[in-house]
Structure 1
């Protein structure tokens, strides 16, 4: 007989005094401690992790098109990169609200301790920095666009966490969303398919890692106008934009 897995959609961690959501657990004893005595707990058992994941997604599944129509919701495009020569990862995030870029951040690792997982470390850091931005700015809902599936799966606990980085990511993610009551939607986008903000995050991550970029963002902006929140955001963008296209970046700051 196959061993069951348990999906906890809503429960409570009494040991750490916090709400828990979207967990997939391998035994009833693990599941029980999050649902026993919890009013309104939502959980089910399944024969496979895939079935459990579908259950967790069925109430929150939403298309990219519908997400983009949500008024006043913040969107974070996250990406990571890796420099083979230095052994260091990099990360970038682009945060948008109402078609205006509100915040950009990129950076690289201080050492090569995460070289075994290459750009994955950057992808995960970018997602966490997006949540920290939400916490700092009292934002309680965000859509995270990512091309690495682990950004979502490691956060929800649906993938095993063998590396220290994925273990820390899972802990940090759940700590932040529960402490600051942040609702997160995950949306996977395919890399290098012309999505303006995904390409932007990709090139900003490469720039931080001192990797040559192909100028995709620069080409996209030639016939388009990008609105940004302030001069700080524009200055960040100019790292990957040619000076002749700077007029296509409009600052809305008053």
Structure 2
């Protein structure tokens, strides 16, 4: 039996605390800039709702709070956290994913026998976006990999696409097989965010746990792109 949850609506048609998702959803679905969060107890929901920072915080500060772990996304959006890494880099690697859509939370993970940190960070995002590619909702993807996030928010991917996947120095882009897959999956509805790793973020920490467990599970799957490059 699913655990009881309470839903605090900070910005919606009618702000307040609701004891079922269907009631809370009516207040936030389709409401511009809606903000809400679920809690295990009514007291936690009340404490969060009583904090005026969620009503008056400037956009920049609010973004920092969201990156710190508050699942404050538009009601019509999907929250995704990803992480990945390898043991000894290169070595056995794994990735972990947490996907939150409305009241539904899912976790995905997997591993490869030999790969790198960056490739697992990228693979985590690829698996998540591939899982959600039929969704038209806005996808907020959080990762602690500057390599992954900067590829999109700094426009690296677009530049590489226009230069036949070569860097400004003429050298080929590393991990081009994964960048190309990401470019194909990351449509206009995907927004990348950087989040500090190992800083107490609930979802980032969970992704890290999933990734580490996958890497330590003696995975047999082959990261073909990596092994072809290294022989």
Unaligned runs of 5+ in 2: 1-61, 161-166, 218-231
SS at match of 2:132: helix
The normalised TM-score by structure 1 is 0.48
Q: CA 1:193/1:65 → structure 2, altered by over 3 Å: closer, same or farther?
A: closer
| Structure 2 residue aligned with 1:208 | 214
Q: CA 1:142/1:69 → structure 2, altered by over 3 Å: closer, same or farther?
A: closer
Counterpart check, 1:108 vs 2:106: no
Unaligned runs of 5+ in 1: 1-61, 212-254
Q: Among residues 191, 194, 216, which one is paired with 2:200 in the alignment?
A: 194
| Structure 1 residue aligned with 2:79 | 75
| Structure 1 residue aligned with 2:63 | 63
Please list the CA deviations of residues 102-121 of structure 1 after superposition, one character each: whole Å capped at 9, or x if unmatched: x2111111x42x3xxx2111
Counterpart check, 1:141 vs 2:141: no
Structure 1 consecutive aligned stretches of length 4 or more whose deviation exceeds 6 Å: none
State the superposition RMSD in angstroms: 3.0
Query: How far did 1:153 drift?
Result: 2.0
Q: How many residues align?
A: 141
Please list the CA deviations of residues 90-139 of structure 1 after superposition, one character each: whole Å capped at 9, or x if unmatched: 111110123541x2111111x42x3xxx211110001111110111x424
Counterpart CA distance in 2 for 1:185 and 1:164 is 23
Q: Among residues 117, 120, 132, which one is paired with 2:118 in the alignment?
A: 120
Q: Among residues 175, 180, 184, which one is paired with 2:184 in the alignment?
A: 175
Counterpart CA distance in 2 for 1:206 and 1:187 is 22
The normalised TM-score by structure 2 is 0.53
Counterpart check, 1:93 vs 2:97: yes
Counterpart CA distance in 1 for 2:102 and 2:138 is 14
Q: Is the 8 A contact 2:76 2:138 kept in 1?
A: no
| Structure 2 residue aligned with 1:157 | 156
Please list the CA deviations of residues 156-199 of structure 1 after superposition, one character each: whole Å capped at 9, or x if unmatched: 4268485542x223211222235xxx511111111111110110
Query: How far did 1:87 drift?
Result: 1.4
Q: Is the 8 A contact 2:89 2:117 kept in 1?
A: no
Of 89-98 and 168-177, deviating more is 168-177
SS at match of 2:200: coil
Q: CA 1:64/1:74 → structure 2, altered by over 3 Å: closer, same or farther?
A: farther
Q: CA 1:177/1:186 → structure 2, altered by over 3 Å: closer, same or farther?
A: closer
The answer to which structure, 1 or 2, has the higher relative contact order (CA under 8 A, 6+ apart) is 2
